[in-house]
Amino acid sequence: MLKTTLTAAAFALTSTALIAQDNPTVGGAAMMADMTIAENASNAPNLTTLVAAVTSAGMAETLMGEGPFTVFAPTNDAFAGVDAASLEMLMMPENVEQLQQILGCHVVATEAFSTDIAGMIADDGGRHPVPTVGGCTLTAYMDGDMLKLEDENGRVATVTTADVDQSNGVVHVIDTVLLPAGQAG
């Protein structure tokens, strides 16, 4: 009985390691391909501001949904580039629609890994429009071997960690918060 229990425990640990093995870590945290975007983001120490914003916006349930989604996830450092007073104001309940729009500008209603995006960029002659669920259109392009996204204000984000597989899509970690047209950071 003890041998069976130990064998089962070893198998479970090995299976968990295999799930995370091919997936990049985010902020040093293992990302599990069998967990949702919201579940994995909650485990990443460098995405705590994003998780707080998603929670304030009432979007956590959506990002736990079936998907598929592609999320361009700004890090805590990316949010540090946003005026602190503006960020605090956005987190207030009376500004939930504006916060939802901003966060929606980081979400695409399909699953697109970096090779897919690079192929679309190449097919479109170097720049590919990316419509988001927030009503923004980002422009994806390559700068050398770096995938970049430009918002409608000319703000540019670099994908720092690509292809984090999730059960309901894929996450690409970015270094800049992207904004809807006409909004300054």
Q: Report pTM.
A: 0.86
Question: d(Cα 148, Cα 158) in Å, to the nearest integer?
Answer: 5
Q: Mind listing the pLDDT tens digit for each residue in 131-161?
A: 999 999 999 999 999 999 999 999 999 999 9
Q: How far is CA 12 from the centre of its chain?
A: 28
> In the CATH scheme, what is the homologous superfamily, with its name and number, of domain 2-174?
FAS1 domain (2.30.180.10)
Question: d(Cα 15, Cα 136) in Å, to the nearest integer?
Answer: 39
pLDDT(181) > 80: yes
Question: d(Cα 35, Cα 7) in Å, to the nearest integer?
Answer: 24
∠ CA 122-177-66, rounded to 5°:
75
